Amino acid sequence: MGKKKGKAIIVGGSIAGLSCAHSLTLACWDVLVLEKSSEPPVGSPTGAGLGLDPQARQIIKSWLTTPQLLDEITLPLSIDQNQTTDSEKKVTRILTRDEDFDFRAAYWSDIQSLLYNALPQTMFLWGHKFLSFTMSQDESNVKVKTLVVETQETVEIEGDLLIAADGCLSSIRKTFLPDFKLRYSGYCAWRGVFDFSGNENSETVSGIKKVYPDLGKCLYFDLGEQTHSVFYELFNKKLNWIWYVNQPEPDLKVRRLIPLSF
């Protein structure tokens, strides 16, 4: 273990924050993670799939004392297939099929737990909401103000490096890039993870496997008119699905209640 380089304060304890915590620990920094959620991740029932390329897997494994754990919780994605489906005629045509694909499919919350469990728990302050920061004149030191959510008390923490891992709406980024605006991608997505354990032979699962026979090793992109979808299987009998619908940017500032009928 080399000489400590200083104290890094990471705001955000999700995938990016945990990854930074591992990298900085390896680079001989003392690390403190501030996370506004009150509890550590414990296998959230929601979540998504992540495709890990060889470099991502190599980096994650370098952080783990038992690197094969990553292989154990992921499934191979050795085929990447793009196809187009005419849903009226129920006809599918393969556009491209790469059988040398070298990704692995991970369940988002499994990766988060794996990264979290490989770090000392003393590194985390849960229920600490970042409020603001100030830098010393020579920019060698940072003071971070946080709110302890439970007690509503404000605490100041000093460090040498501040990492903004507080997500796509980062308040720290706003300080440095006040005019930065998120750009709408042109589509909205519905997404989910379908847990089919215990229902492997059900009509629904058999139907899905008939349409997507290489599930378990294939990343499917299925293109339709003004829409596309992504399917791949995850470890422990789960199916990751995302359905993208091209549409004009929704006005998220207007909050309307839409009555649902079933």
For position 171 contacting ligand FAD by CB under 6 A, the verdict is yes
Q: Which is nearer to ligand FAD, 60 or 165 (CB)?
A: 165
Query: Of the candidates 22, 25, 29, 35, which one interacts with ligand FAD according to CB under 6 A?
Result: 35
For position 165 contacting ligand FAD by CB under 6 A, the verdict is yes
Q: How far apart are CA 203 and CA 93, in angstroms?
A: 24
Q: Which is nearer to ligand FAD, 21 or 79 (CB)?
A: 21
To the nearest 10 degrees (0 to 180), the angle between helices 54-63 and 108-117 is 30
Torsion of CA 252, 253, 254, 260, to 10 degrees: 40
For position 50 contacting ligand FAD by CB under 6 A, the verdict is yes
Minimum distance between the CB of residue 107 and ligand FAD, rounded to whole angstroms?
10
Tokens 């946080």 correspond to what residue? 146
Q: How far apart are CA 159 and CA 181, in angstroms?
A: 29
Q: How far apart are CA 262 and CA 80, in angstroms?
A: 37
Q: How far apart are CA 49 and CA 53, in angstroms?
A: 13
To the nearest 10 degrees (0 to 180), the angle between helices 108-117 and 15-26 is 30
What's the one-letter identity of residue 37?
Answer: S
Q: Which is nearer to ligand FAD, 8 or 15 (CB)?
A: 15
What's the one-letter identity of residue 6?
Answer: G
Element at 57 (helix H, strand E): helix 54-63
For position 13 contacting ligand FAD by CB under 6 A, the verdict is yes
For position 145 contacting ligand FAD by CB under 6 A, the verdict is no
Count the site residues for ligand FAD by CB under 6 A: 22
Contact (Cβ atoms closer than 8 angstroms) between residue 167 and residue 13 = no
Write each residue from 83 to 122 as x if it is in contact with ligand FAD (CB under 6 A), else as -, in one continuous string.
Answer: ----------------------------------------
Query: Of the candidates 11, 79, 105, 111, which one interacts with ligand FAD according to CB under 6 A?
Result: 11
For position 41 contacting ligand FAD by CB under 6 A, the verdict is no
Question: Would you call 240 exposed, middle or buried from its count of C-beta atoms within 10 A (0-12, 13-18, 19+)?
Answer: buried
Query: Of the candidates 12, 144, 164, 232, which one interacts with ligand FAD according to CB under 6 A?
Result: 12
Query: Of the candidates 145, 191, 209, 217, which one interacts with ligand FAD according to CB under 6 A?
Result: 191
For position 188 contacting ligand FAD by CB under 6 A, the verdict is no
Question: Which range touches ligand FAD (CB under 6 A), out of 35-43, 52-60, 79-87, 93-101?
Answer: 35-43
Provide the terminal-to-terminal Cα distance of the chain, rounded to the nearest Å. Answer: 60
Q: Which is nearer to ligand FAD, 37 or 83 (CB)?
A: 37
Binding site for ligand FAD (CB under 6 A): 11-17, 34-37, 48-50, 129-130, 165-167, 171, 191, 242
